[in-house]
Structure formats: C-alpha cells, structure tokens
Amino acid sequence: MHASGPTSEGENTVPTIVIIGGVAGGASAATRARRLNETARIILLEKDADVSFANCGMPYYIGGEIEQRGKLIVADARLLERRFRIEVRTRCEALSIDREARTVRVRSIPHGVEYDLPYDRLILAPGASPFVPEMDGVNAPNVFTLRSLADCDRLHGYLEREKTGLLRAVVVGAGFIGLEMVEQLHRRGLKVALLEALPQVLPPLDVEMAHIVEEMLREKGVDLFLQAPLASFSVENERVVAVHTRSGQTLPTDLVILGMGVRPNVALAQAAGLSLGDTRHIAVNASFQTSDPFIYAVGDAVDYPHEMTGRPASVALAGPANRAGRLAGQHAATGEAPAMGGVLGTAIVRVFGCTAAVTGLSMKAAKRAGIDATAVMIEAGHHAGYYPGAQKMILKVVYDPASGRVLGAQAVGGDGVDKRVDVIATVIHFNGVLGDLTRLDLAYAPPFGSARDPVHVVGFAGENQRAGLVQVLQPDACLDDLQVVDVRTHAEVEKGGKLLKASHIPLDELRNRLEELDSTLPTVVVCRSGLRGWVGARILSQSGFSKVYNLSGGMLMRAHACPTETLV
C-alpha cells in the first residue's frame, strides 16, 4: 500500500517533514528524507539532549570497555544541521497532534514555551520506555534503568562517585541488556546477583541452549535466581539495601539495575486517534504509514511482521528500527518506497566470552505459533581443529520436517557464532531449505573456518534426518521405554557418568557386540555430541534393529536439557 506523496496535486511541492524522536528510527528517517529530497524542510524534535546515540554501546561504557562517552554519539545536532540541513530541536517535547490542522503542539523544555508546528508529513519515532514496577524504592538514587544517555550518565556517575563503597549489585531481568550489565558490573569488581522471573535466561532461546549461558554465569560467580520474580525492596536512608523475590530470597545490595523489558511509547499516537495493533503498538502498513496516511511510525513503538509466522512481532532492536526509519523517510520525502518485509528477531549477546545468538523461530516459538517443526544440533569448532585456538560452538537449526525449510537457528559458543547465525539468517530470508545450507560456497582457510563449515555440517545432519537415514530424539526426550546404548569411550563414561539404564558399548566395539542388545526393542544411541551416535544408529539400523534413534546433541546437550537427571 502506498499513499500519495508530498508532491501530489494540491500539496506543497516543498513539504515540511516533522520527525518526533531521534536515535535509530528518527535519525535514519531524517537523513534518508534529505538525501532524496533536497528542497524539503525537515525538522527533528528530540525531548532529550542527544539526537542519535548508540544505546547498544552503553553497557560497555558503563563497564569501561568503551572509555569515552563521546564514542556513543552517532550524530550530534551540529552534524545533522551542517551536513543534512536538518533543523534539530533538542529538549523539545511533542505534546499533542492535531491531525485535521496537521500541526504538532511542542513544548521547549528549558524555556517552558509552547507552540504549534505545522507538518505535511509526520514521522513518529517515540521509542519505548523501560518497564518499572510500581513499588516502594524504585525511585531511590541507587536504582537504575538503562535506555537513554541520561540513564547512562546517571548510572556511570553513580558508579564513579560511590565505587569505593560498592560491593554488590542486583540485576533484575535476564534478557540481552540484563546479561550485558551483569558482565560489565562484574568487570568493575562488583558481586552480581541476577534475577529472572522465567525458568531460563535469554527467553528467545530454547531451554538447553540457554542453560549453557547459565552455567557460564555461575562459573563466573554470578548468583543466578531463576523463577524468582521481583517482589519488593528494603529501603534504608532513602536507598535500596535489599531485594526480595516472590520465591523468598532476600539479596542485600548496593545498587539495582532494572532490565525487565520495555513498553512502547504510544500515548501521543493514541491520543491523536491513531490505531493500535493487537499488541498495543502503533499499527502501520508496509510503508510505515499509520491509520492516518500523512503520519508514519517507526522503531520500538511499532510491530513488524515476523517472516516465519506473518504475525505482528515486537522487536525492540536497532536493526529493524534503522531500516524502518530509512524507508519511512524515503516514502515521506518522495511518496514511494519498497516494503521492508518481515523481521526474524536476529540478536546476539556476549557473556564472559561466551556468545549466544538467535534468529527466526526456536522450537518453543514454533510450538506457540502452531508450526510443525523439528530441530538438529551439532557441536563444531569455529575454524579448523588442527589450527591453534579453535573454539567450540553448539549450533541448532529448527526446520519444517515436511519441506526442509529452515525456520530458525541458535548458536552458543566462542568465536564465530555471529558469522554462522548471520549466514543462516540470510538463508531463512530467502526461504532456504536444509539443502541450501550444504551447498553454500563459504570462505575457508584454517584460521577462519573448515572445509566442512558448521553451517554445512548442520545442513548435512538435518538432511540425514529428513531422508530417514536416522530418526532423532531431542535432548530432553523421555528415554524410559527405550533401550539405551552409550557408544562413548570408557574414559568418557568414567569421567562423565552414563544414563541409569544405558548399556555401554564403545562405538568401535559395537559391530562385534550386537548380541548383547535386543534388536526387537526401540533403541536410542547416545554419544557425547551426536556424531558417533549417528554412526552407531546407522550400524544398528542396518543390522536388523527395527527402530533406532540418535539422541540429538548427545550427552553434552542432554546435560543442559535435563540438568537434574541422575547419572551413574
């Protein structure tokens, strides 16, 4: 759907484009509009002092990895005015929109002066605000959120002023920002506790993938509390001194970081009568026009269609906001722009040297959406194993068992996680199938990868599953009614233990010991990571065993999917 552009009959040929909000969406819209329309008057309103900054970099400034605050500034008002001839009005708040008159009521915060600003096209980029629960103590000087540069300055200043007396911190919320703050506060020498209301960290990941990150957190001394929703604060001398959970824990603390998610800033749009979607974000069409074709909306305040489900998805990420702003700015300036298409929610986080990334659907997301899906997972090195420094990763691909279409991917490990997830995200975008992963011509030299890249290997494994060469059980499968054959070495079993009722026959002895097993029973073969299990399953299936499975991810991922399971 495309609305008439600003040069349509009866409209101003030198249009005024007003943009409310900067950062990713608003600043991208402003600069794109200027590049495509040199004559338009472009006015950008920003209620804070900074127009365009790298909010994703703020945790690393807090922790000291980024040493200079100025590095967080992407484009200041002077650059936008000088290079793009954009009228930037910082510390100016949009109070209301008169759609009939096409004006915005603006208040200059420093001066308290209000005025009406006319527009021909209006772009809303109001962003989202951190969720802050209503409870005593949330406004204490040692309780922080991290969304704006003002938040960043307040937290950084507090840490610098109070650093000699700060020993403990509590982070509430184990999403991407929460985990980044845990890492950076730990880097500053604080003892950190992390609270999460859900049973796992990083909710977009499947549980066994998230468990790898949880183990890393505990190894680094982070006190991790899952299924522990925030209940209340204890306040003394106007400061929070302890955090209480609904699960009964009491955690003494010197500061609190609230990372409990965000809520879209839709009040301005709602008051103007613009339509909201089912998720209470601003409803937009493919060109980011709202229910009023003269008003656009972009960024964290709008939904994007998910590429896999077609349903509205709340994706508060900088990438989609930048792309949406660019296209809305183009349409506002010219009356035409291509559709952005859907999003996959591709995201990545580093936690103490461990990297976790996700794109598309997880298994649990596919189940929620009613999409038939299965998964394949492998362990692989990020480059050739014989070249020094190869780091392991677990790569999981979710796919449609009927068509082989790739639906999503997750990876957790060291170096190279970003590369593999980005490659698979590209394949997903172009409706690729498992076979496409195997046919990709990827760069290879020993310091960078392997001739059989992890992307190839996970494709091979998935194709083997689809071809029926092996049936696969997911790592958390119930094995009670199955004959379990553990094909790891004696040393591996002695070191790590085995499943309670498993028969231990090392893979290289399996062909000569088949008589020890009952070929009439359904059988699952177990190894460390799944590779030898696949070989063992092929041996059994070609030796008269009627129903044979391989345990995906082997004992490595079984330990993460069923961490309380008894081993012998």
Per-residue pLDDT at 11: 57
How far out from the chain centre does Cα 409 lie?
12
384: tokens are 């050739």
One DSSP character per residue, 184-219 reads HHHHTT-EEEEEESSSSSSTTS-HHHHHHHHHHHHH
Whether residue 102 sits in one domain with residue 37 = yes
Per-residue confidence (pLDDT) for residue 316, from 0 to 100: 87
Residues 382 and 281 in one domain: no
Q: Is 392 exposed, middle or buried (0-12, 13-18, 19+ CB in 10 A)?
A: middle
Domain boundary among 279, 301, 334: 334
What range does the domain containing 550 cover?
A: 472-561
Q: Which of 566, 568, 564 is nearest to 211 (CA)?
A: 564
- N-to-C CA span, the chain: 63
The whole-angstrom separation of Cα 82 and Cα 391 is: 47
Residues 255 and 308 in one domain: no
Q: Pick the last residue of a domain from 467, 490, 516.
A: 467
| pLDDT digit string, tens, across residues 191-205 | 999 999 999 999 999
Question: How many CB atoms are located within 10 Å of the residue 462 CB?
Answer: 27
Q: Which helix (H) or strand (E) holds 305?
A: strand 304-305
Instruction: Look at residues 126, 125, 124, 130 and name the one whose alpha carbon lies nearest to residue 263.
Output: 130
Q: What SS3 state is found at 410?
A: strand
> Which residues are tagged catalytic?
56
The CB density around residue 52, as the number of other CB atoms within 10 Å, is 22
Distances (CA, A) of 405 to 104, 409, 433, 435: 47, 12, 4, 9
pLDDT of res. 164? 85
| Shared-domain flag, residues 450 and 508 | no
Query: Domain ends where: 451, 467, 483?
Result: 467
Tally of CA atoms within 13 A in the half-sphere of 223 that contains its CB:
15
DSSP, residue by residue, 246-278? TTS-EEE-SEEEE---EEE--HHHHHTT--B-T
Q: Is residue 457 part of a domain?
A: yes
CATH at 174: 3.50.50.60
Rounded to whole angstroms, how far apart are CA atoms 64 and 14? 46
Kindly give the interhelix angle for 207-219 and 176-187, rounded to the nearest 10 degrees: 10
Low-confidence stretches of the chain (pLDDT < 70) are 1-12
What CATH number has the domain bearing residue 525? Answer: 3.40.250.10
CB 233 within 8 A of CB 244: yes
Which two structure tokens, joined as six digits, stand for 14? 């030198």
Q: Which residues contact 406 (CB under 8 A, 6 or more apart)?
A: 360, 397, 398, 399, 424, 427, 428, 432, 433, 434, 436, 437
pLDDT at res. 75:
86
Whether residue 226 sits in one domain with residue 119: no
Q: Does residue 51 belong to any structural domain of this protein?
A: yes
3 assigned to some structural domain: no
Per the structure, the count of domains in the chain is 4
- Asked if the structure places residue 339 within a domain, the reply is no
